[in-house]
Structure 1
Amino acid sequence: MDLIALVERIGEAPTAALFGMITGLTFGIAAHRSRFCLRAATVEFARGSMGPAVAVWLLTFSTALVWVQGASLTGLMRAEDARMMAVAGSWSGAIIGGLMFGIGMVLARGCSGRLLVLAATGNMRSIVSGLIFAVIAQMSLGGWLTPAREYLAGLWVTPGGRNVDLLSTSGMPDYMGLVMGIALAVLALEISRRNRIGFGRLVFASGVGFAVAVGWVLTFGLSQVAFEPVQIESATFTGPSAHTLMYFLDRNAVLEFDIGLVPGVFIGALISAALTRELRWQAFDNALVMRKAMIGAALMGFGGMLAGGCAIGAGVTGGSIFVATAWLALFCMWIGAMATDYLIDQKHLATA
């Protein structure tokens, strides 16, 4: 069945949700099996190690660059049409929100995407933290925290009502994005070789990056045949977590890509955990861990919404199409996470 026939048969909104589900299932399975986690990568790097977590993250990021830039060069998507690129970006939001998100993911022991994956395995810490993350994200999107987010985001914005395309602004040819992705993939494979990472984990790490490309290509394809405007988007978890929460609370909410994405990730990770026999209930270790996780989740909810995306949304999805504020947000997430690990976790280990 071709795309037009699918849209005519089930409708545009259900098709968008279906595409979100496909993207989410791919992401959930691959993220669980590869143990993809930006927080783990930043902690390794902060402690002077280019270990397995760094290798997996870098392979995911580079794979997303390769697939997405390849799709762009072959006409399967247009980065300039993506919502992240077509609206004004916030430099101040990327800096402040990125730092907050980085701090939060170390306190919560996982970024929002990782928490969703772990929640599917029965991890109560991740379930509680994920719910707090979603509630704060919704409050930042359209609730009591909205004025604060809008004020901070408005301090410094990109000119011209659009975000900045790093490739075109720097004058580099279109194919340089693909070249950079290949170069980073080679580096990731070399780090993986030094850490003796198995072939299977490498394949699944690449699968996380592939899931990002799947989302971009599917939503772009839908936008070309849909009668109503369709947002061209891919995997991210700040806005979608808030939208999914409201979908189950508001009978008037409508189907969209986000509503398929979040459940898709959960189901994909659940299937993977069941097949690998990793389903088990896990509680908080102690009250201190619980407090840190709850504070961290709240910081990620507000910070991710302010930054324009989470560790996946800005760090991989936005980065794959060279959105300038996404790259800045990712950089600030690394800085915030490394500083928090040094000031809190490393000092705690030293005094333990």
Structure 2
Amino acid sequence: METLRFISSPFFIQLTVLFFVLNPANAQLKVGFYSKTCPQAEAIVKDVIDQVMTVAPSLAGPLLRMHFHDCFVRGCEGSILLNSPTKRAEKDSPPNLSLRGYQVIDRVKSALEAKCPGVVSCADIVAIVARDVTVASQGPHWDVETGRRDGRVSSFNEALINLLPPFANISTLIAGFQAKGLNVKDLVVLSGGHTIGTSHCSSFTPRIYNFSGKGDTDPTLDSEYVPNLKSKCTATDQTTLVEMDPGSFKTFDSSYFTLVKKRRGLFQSDAALLDNSETKAYVELQVDTSGSTFFKDFGVSMVKMGRIGVLTGSAGEIRKVCSMVN
């Protein structure tokens, strides 16, 4: 796969924010883009996802995260799906090695191609699937804007640079989201996606075994919770999966915020939400389920995220197979 050099500087980040906010391609996305060219498109996607979730509900988390990971690298243009013969595509990069469900995207694409060949983009499929797995996990429904086209470039290194690591602090998280045109509220709302799915031990074991290089534990983690995590993960475990929202990791709800408030968020990036007054206030608001705005807010932030760096009009292409360029 072709790899492009990524320039990182404050000036570049400012331009990036401006580009994402003013990008005219955003205006070409709309709800119901396929209403005339493939009117059954979303029903076809939902049918496949409902079948998959019946037998493999644990795929909901990875398929939701796939949309995040796609949009944060080169924009929401399906580059996360591309294969590379030399294993240098986005999906081969360390931040993406825990993603699963590519075969589900392929299954959806095949169903759409059978009905409407060459019409629905892989980038739009990823966006619609993210919504449908959320709904299938008892989460909110939102209207997905469509009209994205597919990119032709996927870069191992750009995934390393653009995807925020689980050990990021609040300043890094805020800057990373702002670079994509997303604000502090979007950060804390979208972090709530950790309510479903699992994580490899390696994403958080430094917090419980060797936080500062002295064999210590992260002081922001509830000390009474540490033995529970240690019972699941050894210091060198690279394969075991742990629930991000224990007890309801297959159900999309607001209990993630309760965990964060109790200092039991799995990642440093979860704990960091208590280090900013705005994100902390939002966490505390969602803990009171009677006043929770999480479901509504999540849909709003997902729509915003789905506009990042999109290709529309004559840009890009509509891939025939999601894993390769035409």
- TM-score for both structures, normalised by structure 1: 0.25
**Structure possessing the higher relative contact order (Cα contacts under 8 Å, 6 or more residues apart):** 1
The structure that is helix-richer by fraction is 1
Normalised by the size of structure 2, how large is the TM-score? 0.26
